[in-house]
A = this chain, B = another copy of it.
Amino acid sequence: MPLKDSYTLPAAADMHVHLRNAPGPIASLVTPTIRKAGIDTVFVMPNLAPKPVVSVSEALDYKSHLLALDDKVNYLMSLYLHDSITPDEIRKAQKAGIAGVKAYPKGATTNSQWGVVSFDPFHSVLQAMEEEGVVLNLHGEVPSSATDGVTVMNAEAKFLPTLKSLVDKYPKLKIVLEHCTTADAVEAVRSCGGNVVGTITAHHLSLLVDDWSANVHHYCKPSAKSPEDRRALLQAVVNSNGKFFLGTDSAPHDISSKKGKGNTAAGVFTQPYALGYVLQALEEGITRGDISESAVTQDVLEGFFSTYGRKFYNVAPASQQIKLTRGAATVEESLKSDEAEIVPFRAGEKIWGVEWL
């Protein structure tokens, strides 16, 4: 076994989670699993349906409902980049501690129907964000288009020129390229200054296109890609130096949206065991030769799981420690209530368990 059997680390921060509407059946199931994972801070995505979070008051209202589900978690709230948002709302957001504004290209993923077609109309909003230090969170894909030759396999690569143009136009804007899935995306983030970073999920460190092709619980947007891309992500984790940190994009969907009639919802649910999934992926990556054993240091894990993300979002360091132990937990077959059932990643497998110290 290339990794140690246990790690003591500062509590982790997951800088990209979907908790869904609160109050609501899915939020009730998944919010209590945040701390179970050894995580005390989450950046909460605003793509609720039937209406995304587009104002400070909505974000704060959402936060209060999440606190009612678990008040020991630090919820970093976000707005959905939408034409109803004004520069004034951005300034208000900054004062209210809203951590970021998420841009969804229209049609690219779950609840992106209210999303962005072009960034041009948002010029004054983006300027205000740059001035106020409010982060722009990018779902970095262009929508699929047969005419333009865009599919789920190259949608991220085709978005990267947009990232570049935003960086050129707003050089001080803090930007997160969310859930990087390709070597190209890693390279694009590296080529930018320190105000541009990338998040990496747990599942993209393990999955390839083959895995989701035959398993609906592995299907997500952006989709997992090639062995070379996965290798680049693993290498980005161990050579992050603050440029890449954890954002799981844990995306719970009721099993009826995964295995029911109709199309498969995109999303992998990793919340309860996020850190264990990453350790397992790193270990598998070492075994395959994608990364070296010596690269997975205490510093690398502390940085990727906890310190880099907090630093980027100006969040204080973790006050508590956690201990991760190999094989100390078994992933449930599903999380279930009377109203919802969610199948987690690696259901039924042994995984690293978490203790709060």
Contact with B along A231-255 (1 / 0, CB 8 A): 0000000000000000000000000
Contact B228 A144 (CB under 8 A): no
Say whether, besides A149-B226, A226-B149, A226-B151, A264 and B209 are in contact (CB < 8 Å).
no
- Nearest chain B CB to A207's CB is how many angstroms away? 11
Q: How far is the CA of A213 from the CA of B266 in the complex (A)?
A: 9
Contact A208 B263 (CB under 8 A): no
Which A129-158 residues sit within 8 Å CB-CB of chain B?
Answer: 144, 146-147, 149, 151-154
User: Which residue of chain B has the shortest Cβ distance to A218 in the bound complex?
Assistant: B263
- Nearest chain B CB to A209's CB is how many angstroms away? 5
Q: Is residue A41 within 8 Å, beta carbon to beta carbon, of the partner chain?
A: no
Say whether, besides A146-B288, A288-B147, A263 and B227 are in contact (CB < 8 Å).
no
Q: How far is the CA of A264 from the CA of B214 in the complex (A)?
A: 5
Q: How far is the CA of A7 from the CA of B25 in the complex (A)?
A: 54
Q: Is residue A219 within 8 Å, beta carbon to beta carbon, of the partner chain?
A: yes
Contact B208 A151 (CB under 8 A): yes
Chain B hits for A208, CB < 8 A: 144, 146, 151
Q: How far is the CA of A215 from the CA of B152 in the complex (A)?
A: 13
Q: How far is the CA of A209 from the CA of B213 in the complex (A)?
A: 9
Q: Is residue A259 within 8 Å, beta carbon to beta carbon, of the partner chain?
A: yes
Q: How many copies does the complex hold?
A: 2
- Nearest chain B CB to A90's CB is how many angstroms away? 34
Q: Is residue A166 within 8 Å, beta carbon to beta carbon, of the partner chain?
A: no
Number of contacting residues on A, CB 8 A?
30
Q: How far is the CA of A212 from the CA of B215 in the complex (A)?
A: 11
- Nearest chain B CB to A257's CB is how many angstroms away? 11
Chain B hits for A228, CB < 8 A: 149
Say whether, besides A146-B288, A208-B146, A214 and B151 are in contact (CB < 8 Å).
no
Q: Is residue A223 within 8 Å, beta carbon to beta carbon, of the partner chain?
A: yes
Q: How far is the CA of A334 from the CA of B266 in the complex (A)?
A: 25
Chain B hits for A219, CB < 8 A: 213-214
A264: which of B144, B216, B266 is its contact (CB, 8 Å)? B216
- Nearest chain B CB to A184's CB is how many angstroms away? 15
Q: How far is the CA of A95 from the CA of B101 in the complex (A)?
A: 72
Contact A227 B264 (CB under 8 A): no
Contact A223 B213 (CB under 8 A): yes
Q: Is residue A210 within 8 Å, beta carbon to beta carbon, of the partner chain?
A: yes
Q: How far is the CA of A58 from the CA of B235 in the complex (A)?
A: 52
User: Which residue of chain B has the shortest Cβ distance to A208 in the bound complex?
Assistant: B151
Contact with B along A282-294 (1 / 0, CB 8 A): 0000001000000
A152: which of B149, B209, B264 is its contact (CB, 8 Å)? B209
- Nearest chain B CB to A37's CB is how many angstroms away? 25
Contact with B along A178-216 (1 / 0, CB 8 A): 000000000000000000000000000000111011111
- Nearest chain B CB to A116's CB is how many angstroms away? 20
A151: which of B216, B227, B260 is its contact (CB, 8 Å)? B227
A259: which of B209, B226, B259 is its contact (CB, 8 Å)? B259
The contact sample of 13 A-B pairs, CB cut-off 8 A, is: A147-B288, A149-B226, A149-B227, A151-B208, A151-B225, A151-B226, A152-B210, A153-B226, A212-B213, A213-B264, A214-B266, A216-B216, A259-B259
